[in-house]
């Protein structure tokens, strides 16, 4: 059985160990050592990373009490130099110990049990047995976390044969001798993970957001280095925004709202102008005598083509309108509207869009779609003339 040095000292980042067994499987080497500083994935905590004799760890597994180190090639025999990616490990220790603290706090303050938790590369989260938290409650939670961190509560790990008098928050999954993790007299839980030495190492601890999962609320949080990075990211962003709008921080939301409103008004105004322009275009197009009004626009939003087609059809003429975008600027848009007669345009959709290498559909009086190729537009116009008169 591999001696798991991380159980006794999770801060140990370098060690040496002898190989006890080594085998090749599927082009990779699976190496067992007499002792290790690398913890495989388990209990919600991701696996460690690092090197064995300079070879990066590809994976870690636990088999029959042994830790199996998966490497790309044979590391050789004798004494191995183990080096842990301690930045990654310490991050996991912070997020994981923070979960112990938060789980106890949620239980005491809200009677909310921890149903599950996860530590991902980006986010850590706790699914709690409570449907929602108010902003006020979240602030209270954070403030209590800060007080518990500032109190620098010692975190202790010990073994116990009889956990019944320990009033564990989380009972053990197995019977017999168990590993207990204690945060001073605040929290006691059966756990096999790696933890920091003091709650002071969890600061800052920030609740990032709450998400509803089934009937429960999932709290996303960040502790220590992650919380600092999150704060830095948001602080830099706030400063950039402040420079952009040249307003105090607190004025940014109102300022952005005003800008967005203004943008929406300008867009509406521009749409109105384009629609009027299309109606004038329609009036000019109606001056011709062809029963089918055909018009191509160099650019043209679908909405504008529709406005043009509607104005022509309202004057009792059939219409074929399309945009002809510059090469590489996307597919052409096509609108066909019936202004006279009672032919059902839907029957023409398939042959029409086949001629234009596109797709489209619509109602009895209006067809709309995309065209991949406009080189047979004349044939498309002839098809419409034949069927619509």
Per the listing, tokens 């797709």 go with 359
Sort residue 131 into left (φ over 0), alpha (ψ -120 to 50) or beta. alpha
Site membership for Zn ion, residue 75 (CB under 5 A): no
Per the listing, tokens 């590369």 go with 121
Cβ distance to Zn ion smaller for residue 101 or 352: 101
Query: Least CB distance from residue 181 to Zn ion, whole Å?
Result: 5
Sign of the CA dihedral with 238 first, then 241, 245, and 246 last: positive
- Closest CA relative to residue 202, chosen from 257, 240, 159, 145: 145
Q: Which residues contact 150 (CB under 8 A, 6 or more apart)?
A: 200, 203
Q: Which stretch binds Zn ion (CB under 5 A): 50-58, 154-162, 175-183, 218-226?
A: 175-183
Q: Provide the b/e sequence for 364-387 (b: ≥16 CB within 10 Å).
A: ebbbbbbbeebeebeebbebbeeb
Q: Two tokens at 291?
A: 């029963």
Query: Least CB distance from residue 193 to Zn ion, whole Å?
Result: 4
Query: Least CB distance from residue 150 to Zn ion, whole Å?
Result: 21
Q: Which stretch binds Zn ion (CB under 5 A): 16-24, 166-174, 183-191, 281-289?
A: 183-191
Query: Least CB distance from residue 302 to Zn ion, whole Å?
Result: 57
3-state secondary structure of 289: coil
Query: Least CB distance from residue 197 to Zn ion, whole Å?
Result: 13
Site membership for Zn ion, residue 193 (CB under 5 A): yes
Q: Which stretch binds Zn ion (CB under 5 A): 160-168, 178-186, 207-215, 330-338?
A: 178-186
**Sheet-wide strand order for 50-52:** 55-56, 50-52, 79-84, 14-25, 28-33, 66-71, 59-63
Q: Which stretch binds Zn ion (CB under 5 A): 180-188, 242-250, 328-336, 352-360?
A: 180-188
Cβ distance to Zn ion smaller for residue 2 or 194: 194
Number of residues located near Zn ion, criterion CB under 5 A: 3
Q: Which stretch binds Zn ion (CB under 5 A): 138-146, 193-201, 208-216, 230-238?
A: 193-201
Query: Least CB distance from residue 183 to Zn ion, whole Å?
Result: 10
Determine which residue in the list 84, 191, 202, 223 makes contact with Zn ion, applying CB under 5 A. 191
Q: Which residues contact 307 (CB under 8 A, 6 or more apart)?
A: 274, 275, 278, 279
- Whether omega before 204 lies within 30 degrees of 0, making that bond cis, reads yes
Cβ distance to Zn ion smaller for residue 181 or 374: 181
Query: Least CB distance from residue 7 to Zn ion, whole Å?
Result: 12
Query: 294 forms bridges with which residues in the sheet?
Result: 320
Cβ distance to Zn ion smaller for residue 170 or 385: 170
Residues that bind Zn ion (CB under 5 A): 181, 191, 193
């Amino acid at each position: 059985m591999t001696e798991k040095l991380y159980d006794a000292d999770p801060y140990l980042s370098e060690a040496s160990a002898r190989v006890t067994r080594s085998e090749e499987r599927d082009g990779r080497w699976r190496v067992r050592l007499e002792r290790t500083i690398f913890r495989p994935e388990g209990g919600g905590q991701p696996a460690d990373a690092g090197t064995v004799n300079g070879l990066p760890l590809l994976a870690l597994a636990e088999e029959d009490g042994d830790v199996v180190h998966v490497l790309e090639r044979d590391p050789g025999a004798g004494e191995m130099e183990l080096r842990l990616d301690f930045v990654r490990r310490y991050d996991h220790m912070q997020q994981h110990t923070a979960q112990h603290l938060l789980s106890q706090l949620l239980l005491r303050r809200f009677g909310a049990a921890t149903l599950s938790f996860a530590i991902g590369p980006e986010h850590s989260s706790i699914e709690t047995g409570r449907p929602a938290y108010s902003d006020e409650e979240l602030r209270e939670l954070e403030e209590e976390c800060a007080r518990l961190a500032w109190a620098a509560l010692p975190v202790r790990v010990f073994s116990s044969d009889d956990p019944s008098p320990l009033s564990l928050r989380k009972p053990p999954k197995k019977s017999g001798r168990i590993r207990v993790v204690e945060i001073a007299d605040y929290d006691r839980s059966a756990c096999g993970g790696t933890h920091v030495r003091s709650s002071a190492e969890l600061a800052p601890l920030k609740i990032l957001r709450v998400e509803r999962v089934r009937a429960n609320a999932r709290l996303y949080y960040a502790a220590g280095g992650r919380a600092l990075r999150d704060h830095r990211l948001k602080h830099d962003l706030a400063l950039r925004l402040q420079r952009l709008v040249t307003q105090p921080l607190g004025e940014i939301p109102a300022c952005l709202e005003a800008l967005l409103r203004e943008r929406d008004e300008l867009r509406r105004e521009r749409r109105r102008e384009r629609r009027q322009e299309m109606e004038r275009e329609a009036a000019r197009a109606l001056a011709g005598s062809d029963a089918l009004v055909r018009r191509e626009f160099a650019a043209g939003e679908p909405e504008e083509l529709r406005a043009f087609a509607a104005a022509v059809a309202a004057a009792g003429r059939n219409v074929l309108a399309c945009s002809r975008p510059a090469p590489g600027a996307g597919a052409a848009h096509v609108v066909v509207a019936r202004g006279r007669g009672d032919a059902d345009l839907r029957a023409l959709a398939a042959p029409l869009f086949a001629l234009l290498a596109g797709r489209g559909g619509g109602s009895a009086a209006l067809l709309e779609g995309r065209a991949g190729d406009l080189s047979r537009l004349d044939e498309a116009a002839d098809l419409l003339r034949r069927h619509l008169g």
